[in-house]
Structure 1
Amino acid sequence: MPIDYKNEIIFIHIPRNAGTSILRSFEMNYIGHHNWDDYKRLNSYWMINKYKKFCVFRDPLKRFISSYNYASMEKSFWHPDIAGIHKDYDICKKLDINGIARLLERGVELWHESWIPQNYWIQGLDDILILKYENISQDIQKVYPNASLNYDNVSEELSHNITDYTKQFIKEFYKKDYEIWEKLLSSNGTKTKR
């Protein structure tokens, strides 16, 4: 669980939302993706109530594209060789992005957590600073003033012919994410109470 004990900060690492860059830039202890229930279960009541909590949210469609692009990479930051290839690599090489959306539509669970809606990671947590991925260089200053972010684990930018049907499915599948996203946009990029 990404925790900065020195600065009393808990980072909820939502997959494909600049988490690796944040972990490495601020030398946080522990890695991985853990939802809020995990933090509550494994940490002291005092810590989870006292520490500042933040996460990064991004446009759900752009995150879906990033998840697909990342899974399609033969080598990446966390999967540097064939032995460590991304678990969804083979399926993403067989299916285009619309095909992956059809799998999710049918209820197929893919291996990587990046397909899970962003709101899952922060369910039950009302007091959290949500940073906007698209403004992360500026927004991170609200957590770490005068800090700069190193960009790691970036996926290749590939273009895709995403059908209108897939776009509509993404809006429905990630409906709660879009609700949070719209609030972020209307609040100029950050919000603390959900």
Structure 2
Amino acid sequence: MPICQKNKFIFLHIPRCGGTSIERVFNLRSKQQLFGVVRMGDQERTLHHLTPGDLEELGLVDPSVLESYFKFTIIRDPFSRMASDYLWQQRYDRHNLFKSMQFSDYLDFAESVVKNQRYFEKVHFDHFRPMVSYCLNGGELVVDDILLLENIDIELKRIQPLIGVVDLPRINASPSYQHLSTRENIDRVRILYEEDWLLYERIQALHHSLYR
């Protein structure tokens, strides 16, 4: 959840939704900007993946800044996000957990993390947090705009007056995951992340009418 003091915006970085590119282009990569991994008691917290609820709980941002700065996030198709994360976790397997996992085992693991709220047990477990947790706090919408990754260039141009000009690099792009797109896998993700699907479909419909 990096903060850009220069342009007065807060970016809610949902893992595997293009956030690294945003952080790179605006140079939002210091702890002062809420970027990096810190130890808090027995938890590993990735500052740039904090949710609005985390900010409220930890008191890391002045309430006046939270209220006045432009707040936005980027979402994507929930299945695409999980398939992308599976390949990413295998590539950067920090804890030696994912490299030999089949996708079905990865989804079993995701279910365990989500159902038991294990997001801070190890670094990168926060990748399994639902996208809605970055958009809502206590059931209330707390971001000013929700962008779609598949339309990211158009979306960033639309909010350019609020965040500045963006020439977005493509960083951490995933290889093809078409082989993972089976009906069973898609259905499992839809059940686990039901609220994310509802959010995604609603934003997709809204933006379809916006760009017609």
The superposition leaves residues 46-99 of structure 1 with CA deviations (integer Å, 9 ceiling, x where unpaired) of 1111111000000000000000011111xxxxxxxxxxx4335x3322221112
> How has the CA–CA distance of structure 1 residues 3 and 105 changed in structure 2, closer, same or farther, with 3 Å as cutoff?
closer
1:151 aligns to what SS in structure 2?
coil
Could you list the runs of 5+ residues in structure 2 that have no partner in the other structure?
36-47
Structure 1 residue 2: Cα displacement: 0.5
| 1:126 and 2:145 matched | no
Q: Which amino acid letter does the alignment assign opposite residue 160 of structure 2?
A: Y
Q: Which residue pairs with 1:173 in the alignment?
A: 192
Between the two proteins, the alignment pairs up a number of residues equal to 179
Q: Does 1:46 align with 2:53?
A: no
For structure 1, the residue ranges without an aligned partner over 5 or more in a row are 74-84
Q: In the alignment, which residue of structure 2 is the partner of 1:72?
A: 90
- Aligned pairs for 1:1-194 (under 5 A) are 1-28=1-28, 29-31=33-35, 32-40=48-56, 41-73=59-91, 85-87=92-94, 90-106=96-112, 107=115, 109=118, 111=122, 112=124, 113-124=126-137, 126-128=141-143, 129-145=145-161, 146-188=165-207
Determine the C-alpha separation between the residues in 2 that align with 1:133 and 1:114: 16
Q: TM-score, normalised by structure 2?
A: 0.75
Task: Determine what percentage of the aligned residue pairs are the same residue.
Answer: 26
State the Cα deviation string for residues 9-37 of structure 1 (Å, max 9, x = none).
00001100111100011122342211102
User: Does structure 1 conserve the Cα–Cα contact (< 8 Å) formed by 2:73 and 2:134?
Assistant: no
Residue 52 of structure 2 contacts residue 134 of structure 2 at CA under 8 Å; is this kept in 1? yes
In the alignment, residue 168 of structure 1 is paired with which amino acid? D
Q: Which amino acid aligns with 1:64?
A: M
Equivalent residues of 2:83, 2:180 under 8 A apart: no
**For the Cα contact (< 8 Å) 2:136–2:142, is it kept in 1?**
no
Judge conservation of contact 2:22–2:168 (CA < 8 Å) in 1: yes
- The separation in 2 between residues aligned to 1:183 and 1:14, in whole angstroms, is 18
